[in-house]
Amino acid sequence: MRKLLYLVLLLTGTLQAQSPLCPSTSTNFCCEYVAGITINGQSYAGNTGFTGPGYYDYTGTPVPTIQAGQNIQISYTVRTNGNYNQYFKLWIDFNGNGVLSDPGELVFSDNAVVPNTTQTFNRTFTVPTTVFNGEIYMRFIMVYSSSPTLCGNYAYGNTFDFKSGVTGAVDPFNFSGHVYNSEGIGIQNIPLEVYYKTTTESTYALYTTLSTNEVGEFEVTTTLNADSYNFKVVIQSITYTQPTTSDAQSFNLKLIQEDLNSKDYYRMDVNGNRLLTVSDIYSIYAKINNNIADFQGTDPDYRIFTSTEWSVINSSTSDLTSTYIGVASVTIEDIPNGQTYDFYVVRKGHRN
């Protein structure tokens, strides 16, 4: 008996798993429920009695792909055991930014007194042509006696979450990438500035600032039409820190094992004489110990390379410092939508 109860709880729990959207559910049940919903031809079951549950996550069973400009049919069947006024709302995250409260994303808001019976409501809405292509989330809520809010608990009714895709619309501008160190490991907290302008404007304005995450990744997502805007990204002001003894020891090991390659001319040759020797190792120790104020030479503390440059540097063994100089800051303009950019930062005296 206990095992059967546990199985029921498991099944119920599966149905009630939370989608990526904010939590929303009914907490009381007595007098009404949504028995089922059909969207764009795909049917989804609801309650079968007046006992809940209050939330359904159907994001794992996507609604058939929606075409921009298409008229979408939605029908929902409601059952009550009295004359109760029910409120209905449907939100669709048309711009795909994970937030359903943006303008135009409340698709409909309605209410009706449903007598002691089962009643099916049919609605039609048109998908705007200005929405963005891609994955979208939907939420349908029925609440007794008050207008549903997007998130949170309420007394009576049901919440349904859905997922679908949009095609035939416009693309929002987005791009992403990584900032790696010279060992190909992502660097966290590298600051980036993202600027934008319309295609007809001449100057950029700051859109947002962000930093790389723990794996060196950055991701810029906008709600702006990629066909109407230009973007540029700037990486600058990387903080240079003192190398450590482990850097010196690591370089020393490379030296005696003759495991030296092109990138070492950027990071290990701290005295800037284009030779990789024990003097570079000593220089790191001397700088750590303040025996020297700074490294010899005029090489910059760090250099930033594109992935194209780095692929050459990382696969060569000769001194390429005069061929690939690197830069202290990176500005990329007219970024194509969806483009991925990877950058490599090599810091003088740092193995990583």
Partner 1 sequence: MLKALVFISKLKLKKMKKLLLALSTVLVTTFAAAQTTAPDATKPYLIFDATYDLQPVGTGNPTDVVIYYDNQTGTANKALQFRFWYDAGVFDAPTITYTGAETNNYFQYNVNDTEGNATVTWVYTGNDSNFDIAAGSMFNVALPFDAGFNNGVITNMSFTGATAFPAYGTLSNGTDTELGLQNYGGVLQEPPFNFTATILNSADNPAEAIPVILQKSADGTTWTNLQTVNTTVTGQAVFEDNLDQSYWQIRVKINSGLDASSALSTADANMIAQLAIGLQTPTGIQYYTANPNQANSITAADSFTVFNRLAQNANSYPNNPDVLFFTAAQYTTILNSNTDQSSTIPGLSTFTSPLINNTTSGTYYMLVLGDANGTGLN
| Residue carrying structure tokens 């950029």 | 204
The stretch near partner 1 (CB under 8 A) out of 87-95, 196-204, 208-216, 254-262 is 254-262
Query: Binding to partner 1 by residue 268, rule CB under 8 A?
Result: no
| Residue carrying structure tokens 């010196």 | 248
To partner 1, the closest distance from the beta carbon of 255 in angstroms equals: 6
The CA-atom distances, in angstroms, between 33 and each of 56, 91, 145 are: 12, 19, 13
To partner 1, the closest distance from the beta carbon of 244 in angstroms equals: 12
Strands 55-58 and 152-167: parallel
The stretch near partner 1 (CB under 8 A) out of 202-210, 231-239, 260-268, 273-281 is 273-281
Return the axis-axis angle of helices 245-256 and 278-288, rounded to nearest 10°.
Answer: 170
Q: What mask, x for binding partner 1 by CB under 8 A, covers residues 286 to 325?
A: x--xxxx--xx-----------------------------
Question: Exposed, middle or buried, 203 (CB in 10 Å: 0-12/13-18/19+)?
Answer: exposed
The CA-atom distances, in angstroms, between 61 and each of 56, 212, 215 are: 11, 33, 31
To partner 1, the closest distance from the beta carbon of 319 in angstroms equals: 15
Determine the Cα–Cα distance for residues 138 and 100; give it in Å rounded to an integer: 8
Closest by Cα among 289, 288, 262, 259 to 349: 288
Of 15 and 275, CB closest to partner 1: 275
The stretch near partner 1 (CB under 8 A) out of 6-14, 32-40, 189-197, 251-259 is 251-259
Of 174 and 283, CB closest to partner 1: 283
Query: Binding to partner 1 by residue 203, rule CB under 8 A?
Result: no
The stretch near partner 1 (CB under 8 A) out of 132-140, 151-159, 194-202, 255-263 is 255-263
What count of Cα atoms within 13 Å lies in the side-chain half-sphere of residue 284? 27
Query: Binding to partner 1 by residue 150, rule CB under 8 A?
Result: no
Binding-site ranges for partner 1 (CB under 8 A): 245, 248-249, 252-253, 255-258, 270-271, 273, 275, 277-283, 285-286, 289-292, 295-296
